[in-house]
Chain A
Amino acid sequence: GAVVSQHPSRVICKSGTSVKIECRSLDFQATTMFWYRQFPKQSLMLMATSNEGSKATYEQGVEKDKFLINHASLTLSTLTVTSAHPEDSSFYICSARGTVNYGYTFGSGTRLTVV
Chain B
Amino acid sequence: AQSVAQPEDQVNVAEGNPLTVKCTYSVSGNPYLFWYVQYPNRGLQFLLKYITGDNLVKGSYGFEAEFNKSQTSFHLKKPSALVSDSALYFCAVRDGPGGYNKLIFGAGTRLAVHP
Q: Enumerate chain A interface residues (CB-CB to B < 8 A).
A: 4, 6, 9, 31-32, 34, 41-44, 46, 49, 51, 91, 93, 95, 97, 99, 102-109, 111
Contacts and interface: CB of A to CB of B under 8 A. Distances in A.
- Name which of B41, B44, B90, B103 has the most chain A CB atoms within 10 A of its CB: B44
Contacts of B36: 106
A31 B98 CA distance: 13
Contacts of A6: 43
A49 B90 CA distance: 20
B107 A43 contact: yes
A107 B38 CA distance: 11
B107 A109 contact: no
B41 to A, nearest CB: 6
A97 B96 CA distance: 15
Which 4 A-B pairs give the minimum distances between C-beta atoms? A106-B43, A106-B44, A108-B43, A32-B100
A35 to B, nearest CB: 10
A102 B51 contact: yes
A44 B105 contact: yes
Given A43-B107, A106-B36, A91 B41 contact: yes
B42 A34 contact: no
Contacts of B43: 4, 6, 93, 106-109
Most buried by A among B51, B103, B104: B103
Contacts of B12: none
B34 to A, nearest CB: 7
Contacts of A41: 110
A43 B44 contact: no
B103 A42 contact: no
Contact of A42 (B49, B100, B108): B108
28 contacts: A31-B100, A32-B100, A34-B102, A41-B110, A42-B108, A43-B106, A43-B107, A43-B108, A44-B90, A44-B105, A46-B102, A46-B103, A49-B100, A95-B103, A97-B99, A97-B100, A99-B99, A102-B32, A102-B49, A102-B94, A102-B99, A104-B34, A104-B46, A105-B46, A106-B43, A106-B44, A109-B41, A109-B42
